[in-house]
Structure 1
Amino acid sequence: MPRLLLLLLAPISLLVATPSTPGAPSYEVELTGTPDGRTWSGRETISFTNTAAESLPEVYVRLWGNSRGCGSVSVTGGVVERDCTVAKFALKEPLAPGKRTSISFDVKLTAPDREDRFGRSGEFSFFGNALPVLAVRDAAGWHLERDVGIGESFYTVAADFAVRLTHTGNISVPSTGVLADGVMIAKQARDFAWAAGPFRSAESVSPGGVRVRSWVTPTVTAAVADAARADAAASIDEFGRRYGAYPDHEIDLVLNDRWTNFSGMEYPGFVLLISPNSPVVHEVAHQWWYGIVGNNEYADPWLDEAFATYATDVFEGKRRAGCWPGMLPVAITRDMGYWGAHDTSYGTFVYTYGSCMLHELERLIGTPAMERLLASYAKAHWHGVVTPADFKAAAQDASSVDLKAFWRDHGI
C-alpha cells in the first residue's frame, strides 16, 4: 500500500548561539521505491527563509549518505563537491533578508552494500542520514564538515518534513513521523529516516501514552523485542518527567543483529538498534539530547553524547561516585575532526568522562539543583541549538556555587 509520510517544520528561535540562516526549513519529498525497498527515487523540495541581515545568493545541501563513497545519493540541479557530500544550489536571484523561497531537485537513494545505518542487511534496507538536508550557516559560515566515520558529525536544525514513500513490494516501511489520517507527521524534526523490508512488528503503549513500536528482522526474538519496547516505554516517560514531555505520540525501534559499525543510532522518533543487548535507553535519551536540545555534533559531540549517557545512568540509578580521573590529557570538548583521528579515545572521553563530568556537577550543586538545571535548560532551548557557553550559563544560573573553578578543572 502507498504510504504518505508528511512532516512539517516550524520556525526556530534566532538567538546568538543558534543558526542564522537558512531559517524555518520545510521539506516536501515524494519517493517511489523498488519492490525490495532498496532504491528510492523522486522529487524533493526544500523551502526556507533568509533570516540573515544580508542577501543569500546560494544554499548548500548535505549528501551525508555519500560520506563512505559516492553514488549512493544523487541529486540534480546542484553542483556536487567535497567528496560528493555537498551540493551547492545557486538561487535564481539573491534572496533578500526576511524573504522565503525554495529549491527543488530530483533525488535517488540506493542503500549501499554495507551493514550500516545507511546500508543493506539481507532483505532489509536502512536509510539513516540518507535524505538530503540543508546545510547550516551561522556566525562561523557554512558548516560543510565531513562525516569522520565514527559517531555523528551532523549539524541540522529543527524542520518539518512532508515525505511520500510509495512502493509495490511486500515490505514494511517504518520511519520518522506519526500517522494521522493516512499521513505521517513529524514536526520540528532534525532529520527523516526510514527502513524497508519484511519486518515483524509489535507495539505497546507507555503508561504516559506514547506508542512504542518494534520492527525486527527474522533472527531477533520476540522476547528481545518485548524487552526493548518495555525499556523504551519506561525511559521515555521518565525522561519526559525530567526534561519535558516527549513531543511526539510514538517512537519506532528497528532491531537487527547484523550491524557491525554501531550498536544504536538515534533519529527523531526512530531508532536503529543492534540485537541483542541494545542500548535502548541511551538512544531514547537522544530524543531529548540531540532531537529536542540540538547541537552541532561535529563541533560539540559531548553536548549530546555525554548528556544521553548521563541521563541513562540516572534512569538506571547509577551515580558514578568517584568516576572523574582528574585532569585529562585531552579535553572532552574536542571536535569530531580530532576524534576521527583518535577514534580509540572517542568513547572514553566523550561518553564516559563527559557523563562523569555531569555527575560531578550534580554532586557539587546538589541533585535538586541539577534536576532544575536540566529541566530549565531543555525548556529554554526546546528545538533550538546549544553551545557549551549556553550550558555553562544555565548551570551557573541554577547554582549558588561559583562554577569557574569547576569548568577549569574539568576542561570545559
Structure 2
Amino acid sequence: MSLLGTSSSDAWPLRAGRRPFVVLLALILTVGTLVSDAVAAAGPTGSGAASTPDRARYDVALRSDADGGHWTGRQRVSFRNASDRPLREVYLRLWGNGEDGCGTPGGPGAPGVSSPVVVSGVRGGTADPLTVNCTALRIALPKPLAHGKRASVAFDVSITVPDRNARFGREGAVRFLGNALPVLAVHDERGWHLDPYVAVGESFYALTGDFRVRLDHPSGLKVPATGRTWTRPGGPGRTVTLSVAERVRDFAWAAGPFRTATQTSHGGVRVRAYWAPGTSAAGVRLSREEAVAAIDRFGREFGRYPYGEVDLVMTSGFGGGMEYPGLVLLGTTEEGGAVVHELAHQWWYGIVGNDEYASPWLDESFAQYANFRFYGLETDDCWSDVYWPDDGTELTASMGYWSQHRGEYHLVYTAGPCALFDLERTLGPGAMARLLKGYARDHWFGVSTTEDFKRAAQSMTDGDLGPFWESHHIG
C-alpha cells in the first residue's frame, strides 16, 4: 500500500527522480484513523496449534445492481484443519466493515442500521453475533473437526460499496471492492488472530486459498478481478465475469466503464490495464510500461510470478495505491503512479505472506526496497532524510504501536528500505540477492516472520549480525 495521494508529487518516494525519503507527516496523520490494539481470541494453543484452517476453497456467486455498487449472492468456504488439535469453530473476517463498523442509521443498506458487508443464512455451523466492531464472525462447527479433515460453511452475503474514495469505496462511476469478501481468520499458537481494522496500513492476515468466483453484472461495466478471468453472456443486457485464482490470500475486484488494453511481458505474464475516463493517457502509458518491466524483473529477483495475469486498475483520484493478489488499485497522474511498489507486494505479502498487523515492515519495507532498486535510486545517504522521533521505536513494531504513534508510521517506508540497503552493503550485493531469492523460495505461499528473516540473513555470513539488528531497531 502507498499512503499518500498522487497529488503530492514530491511527498511519496515511489518514482525515479523524486527525493527518495521525503515524507509529509501531516498528510500521513490525516489519511485515516487507526484503532487500538486487540489481543487474539482464546483458543487451543501449543505445539499442535499449526496455522489453521488451511487449504481453503472459496466458491462465490454474486449479482450486481445497475452501477456495481451493490452485490448480493452466496459464498461457500471449505477448509482443512491443519492443527493436531480438534477445530471447534472458525472465524470469518468481514474487513469491509472496518471503516463503518456496525453501521449507522441511513448508512449502507439503509433503511435501519447496517454495515456494508452483511452475512446471513449461515449453513454448516452456528453463527454468533459479530464482534471486533463487526469485522469478525464466529461460526461454531457442528462437531469438532479432526486433524487433516475437511468441513465447509456457506452463507448469503450482501455487499454495499461505501460512498468514499478508498480501497473499498467508489470514485465517480468506478467501484472498488477491496477486502469486500469475507475470508477465514487464522488460528495458530497465539490463538485466533482477530486484530482490529486499521485505516492507514493493513490488519490483514490470511493463509493462501483457492477462489472460484462468478460475478454477474451489467454489460456496460468492465470487471477486473483477482485471478484468471474471462467473460460470457448473461441475461439480457448482462455479462458474467468468471475468475479462478489459486493459492491467493484474498480476492478483490472493481467495476466501472473502463477502457482496457493488454500486453504480455517477455516472461509471459499478461498485464491487463483498466483505466477510468479522465485518467491521464501519459500516466496510463507509463504505468503499463513500468508494470511490464517490473513484473519480469521481480520474477528474476524473487521467483517467477505464479499467477499468469495481473490487472492494473487506474483512476485519476484514487489516493496512492493498494495491492491485492493479481490486482492493484492505482491513483494515476501524468507522472504515473505507485505501480512498481504495488507490484512488489505481489511477492512481499502476496506470495511470501506475513501478518500485516503484527509485522507491517515485512511487506511494506521489502516492497519499498524493491521499488527503489527498480528505479536505481541512490541510497548511500538515505538516512539523511529519515526522521526517527524516538530511539525506543522499533522498526518491527506492530500496527498496535503505529496506531498510537501515527507520526512515526512512515518509518516502515523510509527507515525500512534504508535498513535493507545497509544489510545489502553488509552482506554484499550478490549475497543479498541470493538471500532474498532463497528466502522467497523457502516461504513461497507460506508465512514470513522477522525471526525467520533474521535467521536466513545470518546464514549468509560468518559475522554476527546481532549488532546490526540492534542498531537498526529490528527486534
What SS does the aligned partner of 2:371 have? helix
What SS does the aligned partner of 2:340 have? helix
Aligned residue for 1:66?
97
Tell me, in whole angstroms, the C-alpha distance in 1 between the residues paired with 2:56 and 2:49. Answer: 14
Which residue identity lines up with residue 87 of structure 2 in the other structure? L
Q: In structure 2, list runs of 5 or more residues that go unmatched.
A: 1-46, 104-114, 233-241
Aligned residue for 1:274?
331
Which of 63, 69, 72 is the aligned partner of 1:41?
A: 72
Tell me how many residue pairs correspond in the alignment.
394
Aligned residue for 1:190?
249
Aligned residue for 2:142?
92
Q: So what's the TM-score if we normalise by structure 2?
A: 0.80
What SS does the aligned partner of 2:367 have? helix
Report deviation, 1:96: 1.5
Which of 52, 71, 92 is the aligned partner of 1:21?
A: 52
- Alignment check: 8 A CA contact 1:174 1:252 kept: yes
Which of 316, 333, 336 is the aligned partner of 2:396?
A: 333
* CA displacement 1:216-271 (0-9 Å, x = unmatched): 11110322211111000001111000110011211100011223xx4000001100
What SS does the aligned partner of 1:283 have? helix
Aligned residue for 1:302?
361
2:190 paired with 1:140 = yes
Aligned residue for 1:391?
453
Q: In structure 1, list runs of 5 or more residues that go unmatched.
A: 1-15
* CA displacement 1:105-130 (0-9 Å, x = unmatched): 00011100001010121111110011
Which residue identity lines up with residue 165 of structure 1 in the other structure? L
Runs of 4+ in 1 over 4 A off after TM superposition: 16-19, 180-183
Aligned residue for 1:10?
none
Report deviation, 1:42: 0.6
2:142 paired with 1:111 = no
Which of 229, 233, 252 is the aligned partner of 2:288?
A: 229
Aligned residue for 2:299?
240
What SS does the aligned partner of 2:470 have? helix
Instruction: Name which of structure 1's ranges 164-173 and 307-316 shifts more when overlaid on structure 2.
Output: 164-173
- Alignment check: 8 A CA contact 1:17 1:385 kept: no
Question: Residues 367 and 246 (structure 1 numbering): CA distance in 2 closer, same or farther, change over 3 Å?
Answer: same
Which of 214, 221, 230 is the aligned partner of 2:273?
A: 214
Which residue identity lines up with residue 315 of structure 1 in the other structure? F
Q: So what's the TM-score if we normalise by structure 1?
A: 0.92
State the identity %. Answer: 50
- Alignment check: 8 A CA contact 1:319 1:359 kept: no
- Alignment check: 8 A CA contact 2:50 2:82 kept: no
Report deviation, 1:323: 2.7
Tell me, in whole angstroms, the C-alpha distance in 2 between the residues paired with 1:44 and 1:176. Answer: 16
What SS does the aligned partner of 1:191 have? coil
Tell me, in whole angstroms, the C-alpha distance in 2 between the residues paired with 1:95 and 1:381. Answer: 27
Report deviation, 1:19: 5.3
Tell me, in whole angstroms, the C-alpha distance in 2 between the residues paired with 1:396 and 1:46. Answer: 40
- Alignment check: 8 A CA contact 1:365 1:401 kept: no
Question: Residues 19 and 323 (structure 1 numbering): CA distance in 2 closer, same or farther, change over 3 Å?
Answer: farther
Aligned residue for 2:199?
149
Tell me, in whole angstroms, the C-alpha distance in 1 between the residues paired with 2:220 and 2:49. Answer: 43
Which residue identity lines up with residue 308 of structure 1 in the other structure? A
Which of 54, 74, 86 is the aligned partner of 1:55?
A: 86
Tell me, in whole angstroms, the C-alpha distance in 1 between the residues paired with 2:360 and 2:378. Answer: 22
Report deviation, 1:410: 1.2
Tell me, in whole angstroms, the C-alpha distance in 2 between the residues paired with 1:329 and 1:215. Answer: 44
Report deviation, 1:92: 1.2
Instruction: Name which of structure 1's ranges 25-34 and 220-229 shifts more when overlaid on structure 2.
Output: 220-229
- Alignment check: 8 A CA contact 2:283 2:337 kept: no
Report deviation, 1:329: 3.7
Which residue identity lines up with residue 326 of structure 2 in the other structure? G
Tell me, in whole angstroms, the C-alpha distance in 1 between the residues paired with 2:88 and 2:49. Answer: 21
Q: How does 1:361-372 map to 2 (within 5 A)?
A: 361-372=423-434
- Alignment check: 8 A CA contact 1:152 1:297 kept: yes
